[in-house]
């Protein structure tokens, strides 16, 4: 770090106060990243007040020098670098250079503030919002989980969406599929969802695909060109997941899948080339549960069809986890927690546990063998 073009801005997320004994406290209790630093002369506090994004490091030093003539520009550079290392500083220059318009900076101000908890002078939170805007996400299934995920994507500012579904709204959907209303009964879900998104955000113009996926070839069409796929449908049971897994593995497109079974919700993400795939999960599960293959075979041969048995709150939580993973993927604030892990959310206890770890692919998996 030197005195060149960056214009440090102290993040507005952190409360700063002087303590007795010449100490300065930044932030409060966890997760607010509290630290206490020595500031006997009070110039660190003054420096922080001056870091409003209008001054370069050199300018900060000059403005401080009147009160602290012994201070060198190296001193100021060092403390700015230290505050940056601790996670308290962004570079205002990155805001000015970003491609977000004034309406987006205003609309997504709280998103950007949130991302700035994770950003630094080198990364900045504005580019994170920009990456969400540029993300091309395909959502397969506009049912309960799909509705929740679409709502989350709208709030995150993901507008380049493709929605794949073939169903119409039914009265019995209206306990958990919260994009739809009574007046929509009989209409295509993709149309109603699209109207909501367009009403919510003028930039939203989703591509609507009226298709029932019945093969890997269909899945390939559905996911083509996406940056990320959300699999939010589960029929035909097991097969749809395999088709989407195969298509995404071949295309090198990451996908996040979620599903609900009574009081348990599951989420996992496959990142081709980095994690195992859904077929690896099967292989691993089969190795650990000898009866699994027989169950699958009997289940598929039977005409048993589990009735919908779920409540909106559970889907909201599950969709929130999927939405959070999507935000992590595009912003880089953190690794996706579900990448290479089947996360199971127990809605009786609200505990989230790793059910299956497939971070490493199963060597004999035929689906992802060519991906590595």
Tell me which residues touch Zn ion (CB under 5 A). 276-277, 279-280, 361, 365, 367-368
Which lies closer to Zn ion via its Cβ, residue 53 or residue 286?
286
Which lies closer to Zn ion via its Cβ, residue 260 or residue 371?
371
Which lies closer to Zn ion via its Cβ, residue 137 or residue 365?
365
Q: How far is the CB of 17 from Zn ion (least distance, A)?
A: 53
Q: How far is the CB of 227 from Zn ion (least distance, A)?
A: 21
Which lies closer to Zn ion via its Cβ, residue 218 or residue 282?
282
**Gap between the Cα atoms of 233 and 168, Å rounded:** 14
Q: How far is the CB of 223 from Zn ion (least distance, A)?
A: 17
Q: How far is the CB of 283 from Zn ion (least distance, A)?
A: 7
Q: How far is the CB of 368 from Zn ion (least distance, A)?
A: 3
Which lies closer to Zn ion via its Cβ, residue 169 or residue 271?
271
**Gap between the Cα atoms of 268 and 255, Å rounded:** 8
Q: How far is the CB of 360 from Zn ion (least distance, A)?
A: 10
Which lies closer to Zn ion via its Cβ, residue 179 or residue 248?
248
């Amino acid at each position: 770090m030197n005195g060149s073009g960056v214009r440090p801005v102290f993040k507005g997320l952190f409360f700063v106060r002087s303590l007795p004994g010449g100490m300065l406290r930044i932030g409060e209790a966890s997760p607010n990243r509290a630290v206490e630093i020595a500031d006997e002369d009070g110039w660190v506090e003054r420096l922080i007040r001056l870091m409003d994004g209008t001054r370069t490091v050199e300018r900060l030093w000059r403005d401080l020098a009147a009160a602290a003539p012994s201070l060198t520009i190296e001193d100021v550079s060092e403390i700015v670098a230290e505050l940056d290392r601790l996670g308290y500083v962004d570079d205002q220059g990155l805001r000015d250079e970003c491609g977000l318009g004034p309406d987006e900076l205003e609309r997504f101000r709280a998103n950007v503030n949130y991302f700035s908890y994770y950003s630094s002078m080198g990364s900045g939170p504005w580019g994170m919002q920009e990456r969400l805007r540029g993300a091309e996400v395909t959502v397969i299934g506009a049912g309960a989980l799909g509705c929740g995920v679409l709502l989350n994507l709208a709030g995150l500012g993901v507008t380049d969406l493709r929605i794949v579904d073939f169903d119409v709204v039914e009265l019995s959907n209206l306990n958990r599929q919260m994009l739809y209303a009574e007046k929509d009964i009989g209409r295509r879900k993709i149309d109603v969802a699209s109207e909501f998104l367009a009403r919510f955000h003028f930039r939203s113009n989703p591509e609507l695909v009226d298709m029932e996926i019945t093969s890997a070839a269909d899945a390939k069409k559905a996911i083509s060109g996406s940056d990320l796929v959300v699999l939010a449908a589960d029929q035909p049971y097991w097969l749809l997941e395999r088709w989407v897994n195969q298509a995404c593995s071949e295309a090198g497109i990451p996908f996040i899948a979620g599903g609900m079974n009574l009081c348990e919700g599951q989420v996992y993400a496959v990142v081709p080339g980095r994690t195992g795939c859904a077929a690896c999960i099967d292989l691993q599960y089969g190795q650990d549960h000898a009866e699994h293959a027989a169950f699958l075979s009997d289940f598929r041969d039977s005409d048993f069809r589990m009735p919908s048995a779920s409540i909106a709150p559970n889907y909201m939580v599950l969709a929130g986890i999927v939405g959070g993973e999507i935000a992590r993927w595009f912003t880089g604030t953190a690794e996706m927690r579900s990448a290479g892990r089947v996360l199971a959310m127990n809605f009786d206890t609200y505990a989230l546990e790793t059910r299956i770890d497939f971070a490493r692919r199963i060597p004999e998996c035929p689906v992802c063998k060519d991906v590595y």
